[in-house]
């Protein structure tokens, strides 16, 4: 791909920034000029993303010429990873902005709201396509600053102010980590160009690695954890429900994935520092288990979705920590599309749940659980053998497959609940569904590996520490699987009821965060009285997210 063509990618964020500038000067309800411009800019950005993907597929990756001097300036990197994220952000942007046209219809500040969405989208696009460390760090910081305006769009809501305050503190810590890592990497490798830096990191030997690279890798890991709302700094993510639904959709489908993208983009650097990978794997794994357990106790649909995001981000960073960066890319894309749909359709979730079939809560017999385990193992081992020698597959991929086996076990066990003799048709259909999921697991991983090519490094050989971490995670996931199967029969026991209450409150980690920021001082977070004609009240019949 010609480097000059890569400059075309700047047109998409520049158009969105222009819309944001125009929208800031047009606070009238139903601003036709802003609405029309936002549609043209978002659809145009999607078109440019598609064109960039086609150019990369045909001509290969490229970095645009630097607009600046001495390594300081702007440049755009288009490769398989960046165009994948470029396409994803542009697609989600079209959906969210179009949804906002109707959702915010008639709001006195509809124009500035649309402008805030466009500015945030532009920042994310610049981040995922950044070709040098300077632009990457600037865009990383800009995403948070632009999104902060959306978090406090309704400043009269105390919970919104609390969530925004927590997000501000966590984001600034993450910014410090990213800037520090960028400075250390530029000094260690003698360049700010990301492609050159990653090539040198990939080719570096253990003896030639400066100590500062290890520090930079740890800072990258910490920034990824902070950006992805990992335990114990996750509290803000579950409290942003006071913002309009499009903001939550953009957050959970796009912005929250920035931590995962950071780890994947600088994977070659992380591979030089196993300690950083261990941090990602351990914290990510703990957060995944914690978030999944708390999610099951939440009565609110949207809060439950938020806790699901905490868990999914933990699982994605666990994959990064194990070196499964290709699998993490698949997880990132799938999670973004799912969460965009989940939030934008959350208003109809209750009706869908009412119409859905609810399985019998009676736990299956022990014998049927063992049969389910055998079916899941046989299915996974057989399809793994068909797709290639099991011995040739990375140990980390097989460990993730073990977690897939547990999920299949729960699925098969539920098909055998509440009947004396399981229906062969129901069991057969469930097993066939499990087979499709297992085939997709191996096929998608292989396809993504071929598609991403050299943009994402392969998993490294698992060392003793990684094996211990994987063993512990498999053991804990096994325990959670057992609890999922037998828990309905124990809900009346006082110990289980108490545990459920503690989990529903997130083990009170967020309460400690509240104390740290002085949230108990109501005067500090009490909004000013609203003006006689409020500019930030949602129209009747519309709920916040």
Whether residue 383 sits in one domain with residue 330: no
pLDDT digits (tens, 9 = 90+) for 472-505: 888 877 777 776 666 554 556 677 777 777 777 7
Give the pair of three-digit tokens for residue 417.
């609940």
The number of domains in the chain is: 3
Distance CA 124, CA 142 (A): 8
Boundary (domain end) residue, out of 446, 465, 490: 490
**Is there a contact between 166 and 513 (Cβ–Cβ < 8 Å)?**
yes
Whether residue 247 sits in one domain with residue 171: yes
Give the pair of three-digit tokens for residue 160.
């919104």
DSSP string spanning 490-528? GTTSHHHHHHHHHHHTGGGHHHHHHHHTTTT-TTTTPPP
pLDDT band at 250 (very low <50, low <70, confident <90, very high): confident
Where are the strands (E) in 2-104, listed by range?
62-63, 67-69, 72-74, 77-78
Phi, psi at 244, each rounded to 5°: -60, 150
What SS3 class is residue 359?
Answer: coil
Closest CA relative to residue 142, chosen from 128, 158, 157: 128
Boundary (domain end) residue, out of 315, 348, 381: 348
Of the chain, the percentage scoring pLDDT greater than 90 comes to: 19
Whether residue 169 sits in one domain with residue 306: yes
- According to the model, what pLDDT value does residue 186 have? 92
Give the pair of three-digit tokens for residue 429.
């259909």
> Taking 80 as the threshold, does the pLDDT of residue 269 lie above it?
yes
Whether residue 173 sits in one domain with residue 55: no
**Is there a contact between 339 and 257 (Cβ–Cβ < 8 Å)?**
no
Closest CA relative to residue 43, chosen from 1, 85, 82, 96: 96
CA angle 464, 470, 473 (to 5 degrees): 145
Q: CB neighbours (10 Å) of residue 366? A: 10
Q: Does the residue 496 lie in any domain? A: no
Whether residue 172 sits in one domain with residue 50: no
Crossing angle for the helix pair 32-59 and 80-103, to the nearest 10 degrees: 160
- List the end-to-end C-alpha distance of the chain, in Å, as a whole number: 42
Whether residue 377 sits in one domain with residue 461: yes
- Nearby residues of 507 by Cβ (< 8 Å), 6 or more positions away: 290, 294
- Cα Rg of the chain (Å, integer): 24
Crossing angle for the helix pair 110-128 and 133-151, to the nearest 10 degrees: 160
Query: How far, CA to CA in Å, does 26 sit from each of 2, 30, 205, 253?
Result: 39, 10, 56, 28
Tokens 């104390």 belong to residue: 515
Crossing angle for the helix pair 194-203 and 158-189, to the nearest 10 degrees: 60
Whether residue 250 sits in one domain with residue 113: no
> Taking 70 as the threshold, does the pLDDT of residue 63 lie above it?
yes
Whether residue 56 sits in one domain with residue 171: no
Q: Does the residue 511 lie in any domain? A: no
Q: Does the residue 307 lie in any domain? A: yes
Boundary (domain end) residue, out of 348, 378, 401: 348
> Taking 70 as the threshold, does the pLDDT of residue 447 lie above it?
yes
Q: Domain range for residue 21? A: 1-131
207 vs 298, higher pLDDT:
298
SS3 per residue for 195-211: HHHHHHHHHCCHHHCCH
To the nearest whole number, what is the mean pLDDT of the chain? 79
Closest CA relative to residue 319, chosen from 124, 129, 475, 469: 469
- According to the model, what pLDDT value does residue 337 have? 85
Q: Does the residue 495 lie in any domain? A: no
Give the pair of three-digit tokens for residue 43.
């659809």
pLDDT digits (tens, 9 = 90+) for 79-117: 899 999 999 999 999 998 888 888 877 777 788 888 889
| The most confident of 65-74, 297-306, 423-432, by mean pLDDT | 65-74
pLDDT digits (tens, 9 = 90+) for 364-416: 666 677 777 787 878 777 777 776 656 567 778 778 878 888 888 877 777 76
Whether residue 227 sits in one domain with residue 343: yes
Largest Cα span, the chain: 76
Q: Does the residue 450 lie in any domain? A: yes
Whether residue 42 sits in one domain with residue 6: yes
- According to the model, what pLDDT value does residue 293 have? 80
Q: Does the residue 80 lie in any domain? A: yes
Distance CA 210, CA 65 (A): 28
Q: Does the residue 165 lie in any domain? A: yes
Phi, psi at 505, each rounded to 5°: -95, 15
pLDDT band at 525 (very low <50, low <70, confident <90, very high): low
pLDDT digits (tens, 9 = 90+) for 304-359: 778 888 888 998 999 899 888 988 998 899 888 888 877 777 655 555 444 444 44
Q: Does the residue 536 lie in any domain? A: no
Whether residue 334 sits in one domain with residue 206: yes
325 vs 70, higher pLDDT:
325
Whether residue 171 sits in one domain with residue 71: no
- Nearby residues of 251 by Cβ (< 8 Å), 6 or more positions away: 147, 237, 240
Average pLDDT over residues 459-479: 82
Give the pair of three-digit tokens for residue 14.
């520049």
Closest CA relative to residue 163, chosen from 234, 88, 84, 77: 234
Closest CA relative to residue 200, chosen from 130, 126, 129, 266: 266
Kindly state the DSSP code that residue 487 receives in the 8-state scheme: G
């Amino acid at each position: 791909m010609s480097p000059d063509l890569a400059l075309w990618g700047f047109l998409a964020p520049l158009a969105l920034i222009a819309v944001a500038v125009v929208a800031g000067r047009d606070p009238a309800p139903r601003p036709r000029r802003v609405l029309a411009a936002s549609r043209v800019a978002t659809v145009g950005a999607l078109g440019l993303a598609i064109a960039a993907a086609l150019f990369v597929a045909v001509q290969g990756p490229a970095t645009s010429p630097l607009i600046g001097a001495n390594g300081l300036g702007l440049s755009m990197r288009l490769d398989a990873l960046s165009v994948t994220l470029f396409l994803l952000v542009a697609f989600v942007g079209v959906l969210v902005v179009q949804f906002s046209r109707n959702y915010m219809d008639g709001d006195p500040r509809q124009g500035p709201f649309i402008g805030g969405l466009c500015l945030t989208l532009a920042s994310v696009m610049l981040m995922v396509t950044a070709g040098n460390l300077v632009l990457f760090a600037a865009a990383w910081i800009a995403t948070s600053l632009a999104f902060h305006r959306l978090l406090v769009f309704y400043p009269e809501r105390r919970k919104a102010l609390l969530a925004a305050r927590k997000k501000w503190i966590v984001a600034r810590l993450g910014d410090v980590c990213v800037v520090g890592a960028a400075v250390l990497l530029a000094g260690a490798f003698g360049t700010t160009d990301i492609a050159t830096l990653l090539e040198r990191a990939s080719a570096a030997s253990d003896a030639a690695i400066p100590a500062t690279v290890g520090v930079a890798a740890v800072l990258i890991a910490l920034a990824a954890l902070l950006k992805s709302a990992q335990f114990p700094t996750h509290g803000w993510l579950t409290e942003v429900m006071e913002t309009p639904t499009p903001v939550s959709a953009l957050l959970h489908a796009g912005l929250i994935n920035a931590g995962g993208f950071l780890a994947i983009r600088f994977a070659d650097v992380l591979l030089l520092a196993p300690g950083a990978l261990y941090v990602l794997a351990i914290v990510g794994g703990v957060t995944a288990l914690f978030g999944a357990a708390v999610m099951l106790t939440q009565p609110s649909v949207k809060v439950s979705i938020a806790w699901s995001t905490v868990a999914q981000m933990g699982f994605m960073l666990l994959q990064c920590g194990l070196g499964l960066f290709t699998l993490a890319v698949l997880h990132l894309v799938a999670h973004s599309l799912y969460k965009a749909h989940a939030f934008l359709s959350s208003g109809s979730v209750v009706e869908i749940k009412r119409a859905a079939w609810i399985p019998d809560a009676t736990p299956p017999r022990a014998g049927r659980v063992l049969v389910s385990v055998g079916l899941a193992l046989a299915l996974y081992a057989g399809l793994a053998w068909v797709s290639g020698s099991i011995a040739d597959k990375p140990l980390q991929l097989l460990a993730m497959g073990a977690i897939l086996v547990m999920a299949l076990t729960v699925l098969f066990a539920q098909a055998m609940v509440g009947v004396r003799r399981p229906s062969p048709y129901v069991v057969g259909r469930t097993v066939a569904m499990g087979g499709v999921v297992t085939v997709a697991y191996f096929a998608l991983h292989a396809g993504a590996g071929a598609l991403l090519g050299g943009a994402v490094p392969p998993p490294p050989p698992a060392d003793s520490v990684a094996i211990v971490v994987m063993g512990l995670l498999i053991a804990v996931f096994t325990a959670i699987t057992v609890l999922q199967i037998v828990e309905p029969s124990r809900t009346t026991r006082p110990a289980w009821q108490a545990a459920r209450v503690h989990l529903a409150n997130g083990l009170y980690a967020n309460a400690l965060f509240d104390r740290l920021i002085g949230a108990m001082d109501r005067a500090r977070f009490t909004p000013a009285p609203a003006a006689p004609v409020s500019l930030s009240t949602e129209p009747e019949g519309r709920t916040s997210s």
